[in-house]
Amino acid sequence: MAIGSTTESEGRSEDLTDAGGQQRVSVGVWLLICAALVFGVAVLGGVTRLEHAGLSITQWEPLAGILPPLSAAEWETEFAYYRQFPEYQLVHQGMDLAGFKYIFWFEYTHRLLARLVGVVFAIPLLFFWLTKRIEGAFAAKLVVVLVLGGLQGALGWYMVSSGLVERPDVSHYRLTAHLGLAVLLYAALIWFACSMLVPADDEWGVQVSRGFRYATYGSVALLYLLVLSGGMVAGLDAGFDYNTFPKMDGRWIPPGLFPPQPFDSVVTVQFVHRWFGVFVAAYIVFLWGRSVDLRLPDEVRGSYRWLLLMMAAQGALGIATLLLAVPVALGAIHQAGALIVLGIAVAVAYAVTNARLRPQPGIHVLP
């Protein structure tokens, strides 16, 4: 049975052990693998940023760049080219070849993994399409994801090119856009994977209220915005300042909070990120409380509990990262935690949208 055809609603009610169900599982697992790879690219990109390695490759060669320097002469050529740019002249003056190789491998691995995502997504997509395992609107959505993935590579170079001029640092606006598109693709892949892997039983006929569903969608939107605000913090290296919590420099409202260009201000972007994070955490506590009040079935209420627990852990990680002035390992874990929380929120939102709830004695589900 083709996924995305007019008989999709019938296919969703089939047991996942039949032939059509097995096809859905294979597509769903493939999409989860792609989401995991995007997760890895995003986290490695954060590590590359923290290691100040993002400008070590000064050319964009989508095909030729697959191979690293393979000889001593090629390494010397690559290093000589790097020394022409402001980052070497202003930040890494005097760096030897061994130091260059150290930062080069971070950026090279980041780009190579990004290329791998494209291959792992594109080739199975073509196979599933040609064998009619996916078609129709669902196939079209995946083609859009493929196109956006290609644009993500171009956006990455657009970001890097902003740091190859007088100021040896990438634009925090471009970095946030690059991160934002990656996270959007990650969330979309998780949603589409859920649509393949979460069965809908016909006997589950009652759904939660529209308001509670929209409130759950709101958690996804808020978490996405929180990730973007974290991108601004990373782009301005704002986490290396004001390493106290909850006050900043001993004040609840630090001086110079909202200058004429607030998003270019270290104090503003850090203030917004830390207190917006507190707000999002409070929102998720509220959402979990509503899930308890509605007396949802255990499997549904448990998903909100996991979202709450992961958000609490992420908040603790964020505070620790700030207090310790962003050590590389902790900064990477914090970024990974953000993606994990968002991924859980996307899965919960899908469950509320599509998984119907089994009526049980004594359980009231709003119409």
Q: What is the pLDDT of residues 88-137, one digit of tens each?
A: 888 888 889 999 999 999 999 999 999 999 999 999 999 999 988 888 99
User: Can you give the residue ranges of every domain in the chain?
Assistant: 1-199, 203-367
Burial letters 255-283, b for 16+ CB under 10 A, else e: eeeeeeeeeebbbbbbbbbbebbeebbeb
Burial letters 69-92, b for 16+ CB under 10 A, else e: eeeeeebeebbeebeebebbeeeb
Confidence (pTM): 0.89
DSSP 307-319: HHHHHHHHHHHHH
Give the Cβ contact number of residue 220 at 10 Å: 20
Distance CA 336, CA 339 (A): 5
Q: How confident is the model over 50-63, as a mean pLDDT? A: 83
Distance CA 122, CA 142 (A): 9
Degrees (nearest 5) of the Cα angle 310, 313, 314?
85
pLDDT recorded at residue 199: 64
Q: What is the pLDDT of residues 195-226, one digit of tens each?
A: 888 765 433 334 567 788 899 999 999 999 99
Residue at token pair 């009652």: 206
The answer to whether the CB of 358 falls within 8 A of the CB of 297 is yes
